[in-house]
Amino acid sequence: ACKPHTMPLREISTKPYPDQKFGTAGLRKKVAVFQQPHYLENLLQSIFDCVPELKGKTLVIGGDGRYHNRAAIQTAIAMAAANGVAKVLVGQGGIVSTPAVSHLIRLHAAAGGLVFSASHNPAGPDGDFGVKFNIANGGQAGETSTDRIFARTREIASYRISEGPKIDLDRRGLSRLDQTEVEVIDGVADYAALMQKLFDFELMRAWIKRGGRVCFDSMHAVTGPYAQRILVEQLGAPAHSLLNSQPLEDFGGGHPDPNLIYAKHLLDLSNTATSPALLAASDGDGDRNMILGAGVFISPGDSLAMLAAHLHKLPGYKNGIAGIARSMPTCRAADVVAAHLGVPCYETPTGWKFFCNLLDADRITLCGEESFGTGSIHVREKDGLWAVLAWLNILAVTGQPLRELASAHWRQHGRHYYQRHDYDELPTDKAASVLEGLKAQFAALPGTTLGGWTVTAADEFAYDDPIDGSRATAQGLRVVFGDAARLIVRLSGTGTKGATLRLYFERYEQSADKLDMSTREALNPLVTLADKLLRVTELTGRKAPDVVT
Ligand code: G16
């Protein structure tokens, strides 16, 4: 039933906050920062001011269920009402995954969406919080737009908020706040319906019925309800296939980053005699994925390449793929498949938003990043559960174990060994000195032989968007050794404390006797070479990376 409330709007004066610049994926800060009086309100008002298209239109609101999610959602609804948004769609319990928000925006022709999440960053009163703003195509707002919003946050003096009652986020249905219709919806249903269009649910159900086993870890974050509905209720997987599927405000004290460090238990399980055929995990807001099979870990770059090779076997992609894109630091395995298929492969800066123009223009069907992100044209965000279902469908349609599929792929296309080393919370100047030190050697590097490989190029990556002509500069440093290897260095755009330095190592092997090395063994020569070239220990005082994935 529709309960109308007409309450006065309030114009509240406030000071500007100078630190609301969006990073690689929205604005991420400690919860305490977002809890400062008027902090979130300043940012949201700046969005409403800079995006007048929201007036009179629909706004989708969701979050990953972390601490402060519900409070932020109530603020956003009250401000949407005060700023003339016609309709707000909000997920029940405030829970909607990032890819599901993207889908809801597109499905309901909304003018935009707000996602309250700091992705995989730990949650709770001492953890992180974040805001992402997505536009009408379902993708995150581009840099021109977020720069405008940032500029606005620095001059803003007041914001508008409705003083109406709070919305009951746990009860589905329609209500009204001032002139704005607020609908609390099942955040899972539309997403699950989309997955049914893309994948062969009957075939996957039969595969599970025949004894195919899956283990999916939601890491106490947003994908729990999605996995329960799709994997258990719709595909018939036994309930014990799901781990940590209850979303918790502190993610159970964990770090919902699906990689070999934070989901090591899945790696351990995959190496046992009783391993399920498919093991996977997703992150805080449901956009990342990690894929393993019995006895094999599929790196994100490999996952992208292998999905590209098999995608035409899945119902939603039966016409094949138009092209592929990967972020610059992601290994070049996808490039090899693209060349084999005769489709283009685009190299973009880190950040999913750079894929969106290519997706909108139908230049690409599939895209992915080394940071455990994979997705397709079905939405404008990376999509963790989508990747898991795509792999499940591939296992069901080929009838082959994942390990065999991977070996066959490497035999046909060669293998890209890959690893990322992170140095967290460095003083910004020290992190910058590593980049400067490498840049200073750029002119001298081409033609020199290091560790047995010859440098073919050394540069700072810049990207010219082929659709809108915009240019993104300073997107990371590359030392390229032809097709054989690459060393990439860049600073993270998602950290919340100090600077995070990332080193990426990639080595390509095609000969049959070099396809079964351990990643560590394969990359050791490159790591040694990078030590000499970058002098990380000397410049930062750090002896070893904090995280190796
Ligand atoms: C975000 C972005 C991704 C990016 C990743 C790592 O992921 O959406 O495009 O690859 O961060 O970025 P960086 O290397 O700059 O830290 P998420 O899942 O955190 O939203």
SS (H, E, C) 193-208: HHHHHHCCHHHHHHHH
Provide the pLDDT for residue 434: 97
Provide the pLDDT for residue 256: 93
What values do phi and psi take at 111, rounded to 5? -85, -15
SS3 content of the chain, % helix, strand, coil (to 5): 35, 25, 40
Give strand ranges (E) for 398-455.
415-426, 449-450, 453-454
Both ends of the chain: CA-CA distance in Å? 50
Give mean pLDDT, residues 488-515: 94
Question: How sure is the predictor about 7, in pLDDT bands with cuts at 50, 70 and 90?
Answer: low
Q: Is the pLDDT of residue 248 over 90?
A: yes
Question: How sure is the predictor about 151, in pLDDT bands with cuts at 50, 70 and 90?
Answer: very high
Question: How sure is the predictor about 4, in pLDDT bands with cuts at 50, 70 and 90?
Answer: low
pLDDT digits (tens, 9 = 90+) for 116-135: 999 999 999 999 999 999 99
- Looking at ligand 1, which residue's alpha carbon is closest to its atom 17? 119
Provide the pLDDT for residue 1: 44
- Looking at ligand 1, which residue's alpha carbon is closest to its atom 19? 119
Give mean pLDDT, residues 462-481: 96
Bridging pattern class, strands 214-217 and 242-243:
parallel
Bridging pattern class, strands 158-162 and 112-116:
unpaired
User: DSSP label at 360?
Assistant: H
Q: Which of 140, 259, 371 to mutate to test the pocket of ligand 1 (most atoms within 8 A of CB)?
A: 371
CA separation for the pair 205, 236 (Å, rounded) = 6
pLDDT digits (tens, 9 = 90+) for 354-396: 999 999 999 999 999 999 999 999 999 999 999 999 999 999 9
- Give, for 340, the enclosing helix (H) or strand (E): helix 333-341
* Atom in ligand 1 nearest the alpha carbon of residue 288: 18
Q: State the distance from the centre of ligand 1 to the C-alpha of 308, rounded, in angstroms.
A: 21
Environment class of 181 (CB within 10 Å of its CB; exposed 0-12, middle 13-18, buried 19+): middle
Rounded to a whole number of angstroms, the CA Rg of the chain reads 23
Question: How sure is the predictor about 493, in pLDDT bands with cuts at 50, 70 and 90?
Answer: confident
Report the percent of the chain where pLDDT is more than 70.
Answer: 99
Could you tell me the two tokens for 183? Answer: 């609908």
Give mean pLDDT, residues 166-172: 97
Question: How sure is the predictor about 306, in pLDDT bands with cuts at 50, 70 and 90?
Answer: very high
Provide the pLDDT for residue 23: 85
Contacts 24+ apart (CB under 8 A), 539-542: 539/430, 539/433, 539/434, 539/437, 540/423, 540/426, 540/430, 540/431, 540/433, 540/434, 540/501, 541/430, 542/423, 542/426
Q: State the distance from the centre of ligand 1 to the C-alpha of 491, rounded, in angstroms.
A: 11
CA separation for the pair 125, 127 (Å, rounded) = 6
What rounded mean pLDDT belongs to the chain? 95
Is 487 in contact with 526 (CB distance < 8 Å)? yes
Give mean pLDDT, residues 496-524: 95
The set of protein residues with a Cβ atom below 6 angstroms from ligand 1 is 24-25, 119-120, 283, 287-288, 327, 350-352, 369, 371, 373, 492-494, 502
* Atom in ligand 1 nearest the alpha carbon of residue 120: 19
- 275, 267, 227: which is closest to 384 by C-alpha? 227
Give mean pLDDT, residues 342-361: 96
- Looking at ligand 1, which residue's alpha carbon is closest to its atom 4? 351
SS (H, E, C) 72-127: HHHHHHHHHHHCCECEEEEEEEEECCHHHHHHHHHHCCCCEEEEECCCCCCCCCCC
Provide the pLDDT for residue 41: 96
Question: How sure is the predictor about 15, in pLDDT bands with cuts at 50, 70 and 90?
Answer: confident
The single residue of 119, 175, 270, 371 carrying the catalytic annotation is: 119
Q: Which residues pair with 447 in a beta bridge?
A: none
Question: How sure is the predictor about 6, in pLDDT bands with cuts at 50, 70 and 90?
Answer: low
CA separation for the pair 313, 318 (Å, rounded) = 6
To the query of whether residue 119 is one of the catalytic residues in this protein, the response is yes
CA separation for the pair 382, 62 (Å, rounded) = 16
Q: State the distance from the centre of ligand 1 to the C-alpha of 351, rounded, in angstroms.
A: 6
**Count of C-beta atoms within a 10 Å radius of residue 263:** 26
* Atom in ligand 1 nearest the alpha carbon of residue 351: 9
CA separation for the pair 137, 89 (Å, rounded) = 16
Environment class of 449 (CB within 10 Å of its CB; exposed 0-12, middle 13-18, buried 19+): exposed
Q: State the distance from the centre of ligand 1 to the C-alpha of 24, rounded, in angstroms.
A: 6
CA separation for the pair 439, 259 (Å, rounded) = 30
Q: Is the pLDDT of residue 64 over 60?
A: yes
Q: Is the pLDDT of residue 67 over 80?
A: yes
Q: Is the pLDDT of residue 8 over 70?
A: no
* Atom in ligand 1 nearest the alpha carbon of residue 381: 8
Provide the pLDDT for residue 3: 54
Q: State the distance from the centre of ligand 1 to the C-alpha of 495, rounded, in angstroms.
A: 9
pLDDT digits (tens, 9 = 90+) for 32-55: 999 999 999 999 999 999 999 999
**Residue type (1 letter), 449:** T
Provide the pLDDT for residue 13: 86
User: DSSP label at 465?
Assistant: -
What values do phi and psi take at 403, rounded to 5? -60, -40
Bridging pattern class, strands 471-472 and 463-464:
antiparallel
What values do phi and psi take at 355, rounded to 5? -80, -20
